[in-house]
């Protein structure tokens, strides 16, 4: 599996994601939106974005591992945050870096009114490319 990072001329160089990744591999892994659930499917850390973000990215890591994929094979993530505000970015970036380290998949971050159930503040989905 190869992820080719391209930094387009004339675009900024973000610290937590890349604008373009060209992926080559033999398998695509699609991970559904992960939320701050425990193994029994119960919401954990209601009202605490930082704790929910840590749980969400940990759950994403578990889902990737179950599919035989590593975090550094993720080409794209989608991040959905209830009532997103600029000051949430460092909180999300810290949780994200805990899973991805120096790897910076492409991403889209959307502020949303609500998620699938009350109390959830963040959800993250992913696409990985593996050999």
Alpha carbon distances (Å) from 116 to 20, 100, 119, 123: 30, 25, 9, 9
Domains of the chain: 2-130 (3.30.1330.40)
- Taking alpha carbons only, the member of 129, 90, 85 closest to residue 110 is 85
Does 82 have pLDDT greater than 90? yes
Name 108's Cβ contacts closer than 8 Å, sequence gap at least 6.
Answer: 78, 79
CB 65 within 8 A of CB 80: no
Does 2 have pLDDT greater than 90? no
- Taking alpha carbons only, the member of 34, 55, 49, 46 closest to residue 119 is 46
d(CA 43, CA 119): 7
Backbone φ and ψ for 104, nearest 5 degrees, come out as -125, 85
For the stretch 92-122, pLDDT in tens is 999 999 999 999 999 999 999 999 999 999 9
For the stretch 52-70, pLDDT in tens is 999 999 999 999 999 999 9
CB 120 within 8 A of CB 35: yes
């Amino acid at each position: 599996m190869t992820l080719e990072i391209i930094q387009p001329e004339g675009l900024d160089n973000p610290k937590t994601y890349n604008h373009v990744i060209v992926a080559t591999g033999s398998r695509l892994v699609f991970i559904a939106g992960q939320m701050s659930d425990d193994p029994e499917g119960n919401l954990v850390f209601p009202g605490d974005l930082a704790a929910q973000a840590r749980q969400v990215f940990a759950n994403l890591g578990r889902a990737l591992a179950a599919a035989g994929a590593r975090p550094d094979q993720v080409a794209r993530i989608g991040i959905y945050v209830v009532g997103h505000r600029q000051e949430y970015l460092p909180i999300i970036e810290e949780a994200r870096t805990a899973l991805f380290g120096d790897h910076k998949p492409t991403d889209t971050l959307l502020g949303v009114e609500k998620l699938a159930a009350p109390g959830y503040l963040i959800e993250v989905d992913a696409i990985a490319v593996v050999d």
